[in-house]
Amino acid sequence: MSKGYRREGPNGAIVVDCPYCGSRAKRVGGDVIYPHRRDLAKKHFYLCENGHDRAYVGCHPRTIIPLGRLADAKLRADKSAAHAAFDPIWREHKFMKRTDAYKWLSEQLNIDREHCHIGMFDRVTCRRVVETANNYLEDMGVDLPEAFD
Ligand SMILES: [Zn+2]
């Protein structure tokens, strides 16, 4: 089964494709990504810097299963912004339960619920999350912080 960023190679091995250059990402230790974070040294990451900005993704705890697609610094910033806009809907304000909030988001973005994870989104989709979430929060009477860009 393909999840867009991960596929099964020969012998059932996990193969992670780089969305920036299309080549196969390397699996590396946390020491390569965060040399100063000893606590992360044993974690697994997928990395590619094949003619483009360094892009990587971490793995689910104690596995070599990637959390999403590889992201460069710009996409990581956009994903943080998407979470910062979207998470308050279910976390702080509790307007919806978390699962309902993701279902709502998938409908707003017209993305299958199964593929509706911020970790899988590209920069354009992350920006749509921010816009959609901010519109919703405004409609609900929430004072949003000043926009910045
Ligand atoms: Zn690459």
Distance 87 CA to ligand 1 centre (A): 29
Distance 122 CA to ligand 1 centre (A): 15
Contact of 47 with 33, CB cutoff 8 Å: yes
Amino acid at residue number 91: R
Distance 57 CA to ligand 1 centre (A): 12
Query: Of 129, 126, 123, 122, nearest to 86 (Cα)?
Result: 129
Distance 90 CA to ligand 1 centre (A): 34
Query: 44 in helix, strand or coil?
Result: strand
Distance 47 CA to ligand 1 centre (A): 8
- The confidence score (pLDDT) of residue 3 equals 56
Q: What residues flank ion ligand 1 with Cβ within 5 A?
A: 18, 20-21, 48, 50
Q: What is the pLDDT of residues 77-103, one digit of tens each?
A: 999 999 999 999 999 999 999 999 999
In the chain (149 residues long), the average pLDDT of successive 10-residue segments reads: 70 92 96 93 95 95 92 96 97 97 97 92 96 97 75
Q: What is the rounded CA–CA span in Å between residue 134 and residue 86? A: 8
Q: What is the rounded CA–CA span in Å between residue 47 and residue 33? A: 8
Q: What is the rounded CA–CA span in Å between residue 86 and residue 118? A: 10
Q: Half-sphere exposure of residue 44, counting CA atoms within 13 Å on the CB side?
A: 16
Domain boundaries, the chain: 6-58, 73-140
Distance 85 CA to ligand 1 centre (A): 28
Evaluate if pTM is beyond 0.85.
no
Structure tokens at 18: 């780089």
